[in-house]
Structure 1
Amino acid sequence: MYAAAGAHMAEASRKAPLPGSPLMTLCGLISHLRWVEYYWFHVIFLGEELAGPLTEATDDDPDPEMRTAVGIPLPRLLAEYEEQSARYRRLVSEHDLDSTAKRPLSDGRRVDLRWVILHLVEETSRHNGHLDVVRELVDGRTGA
């Protein structure tokens, strides 16, 4: 029974049930959250060079981390996100919230760690709503 449920979820996690949003899959959203957090903590706050699928973004393909995620098993995406989240909790605990980001935003502003965290709370909240809607459309269950 669990193997069948697991196989169904693996297939369902790659479905894009919203016609106007072909990248809006469970896998795509998890990957997007992972790479958005990477961008804000590593690239903006720590000033590191951009790496991973975000380096492939173009005007025609602005979200390659969502497109390529359908080829990655959901358990792996979740494990990588969980591991990364643990690293970011440590990073935040090791820095003062008033610490200034090493890299400025595109408009030239230099934000602090507090701003980065608040921005990520907003981003994660928005996409958690998307995840809930997509999950409901995929599995048909409400209130779960």
Structure 2
Amino acid sequence: MSTAAGATGDNPAASKLGLTSGQIVQELGWDDDVDDALRLAVEDAVDGELVEEAVEAVDVVLLWWRDGDGDLVDGLVDSLTDLTDTGYIWLMTPKVGRAGYVDASDLSESAITAGLAQTVSATASAEWSATKLVRPRGTRR
């Protein structure tokens, strides 16, 4: 029998994301190049499916973003639409040297412009990096 903790144990990157059972995770920016093993590990960790169209506030947004997807600031602001006041965004970007790589300075500048603070970064998979973005404490209700 698999448990949520056991499932993330099989995928160290999913463990680094700090997800817990019962959280609602909205996935944005999905395309054929995303890491399906990581997606499944996230679903196992939260014991539910990723949602695309939220019908209620979500705890976490998993945003896949590549250079060329458009304006990152707009993407981040759109990610805030269904996010709870205490929720956060995991921004998934291709690693350095991969197609669609997003420069770290562009990521940082876009986060600040969108009113977000960058907290931690982690290796999500062989192809993807993860950056956690939150609302600054002073702007939470």
Bigger helix fraction: 1
TM-score (norm 1): 0.24
**Comparing both structures, which one devotes a greater share of its residues to strand?**
2
Q: Which has the larger radius of gyration?
A: 1
